[in-house]
Amino acid sequence: MTEEDLEKLRLKLEETTSFPAVYMFKLIVPSENRTIALVENLFEAEADIHTKESDKGKYTSITAKQVVMNSGEIIDIYKRAASIKGVMML
């Protein structure tokens, strides 16, 4: 995500979300244990995290629900996720 994309997301979140809120993150990563672990570690221990491997096993989808206090927390997680090689954000 570019800085422009993140700013658009921030504005949309501010308009549509009442904080604190439970936010659902959806990411797709290569099915490599290290990459999956790096992404899972972006979230708090209390987050509800589910993974599902693709039919061919090449990719894993990660859905995480976490309580966030403001849009900045969401943007921060997306920025850190973007630094992990192979992560695709939905």
Dihedral sign, CA of 85, 29, 51, 61?
Answer: positive
Residue 1 pLDDT greater than 80, yes or no: no
Summarised one tens digit per residue, pLDDT across range 50-86 is 999 999 999 999 999 999 999 999 999 999 999 999 9
Summarised one tens digit per residue, pLDDT across range 17-37 is 999 999 999 999 999 999 999
Higher pLDDT, 90 or 54: 54
Q: CATH for 3-89, among 3.30.360.10, 3.30.70.1290, 1.10.150.120, 3.30.70.260?
A: 3.30.70.260
Summarised one tens digit per residue, pLDDT across range 6-16 is 899 999 999 99
Nearest to 38 by CA among 88, 83, 90, 89: 83
Task: Provide the edge-to-edge strand list for the sheet that holds 88-89.
Answer: 48-53, 59-68, 21-30, 88-89
Nearest to 77 by CA among 33, 30, 40, 35: 40
Write down the pTM of the prediction: 0.90
User: For residues 72 and 9, is the Cβ–Cβ distance under 8 A?
Assistant: no
Domain-wise residue ranges, the chain: 3-89
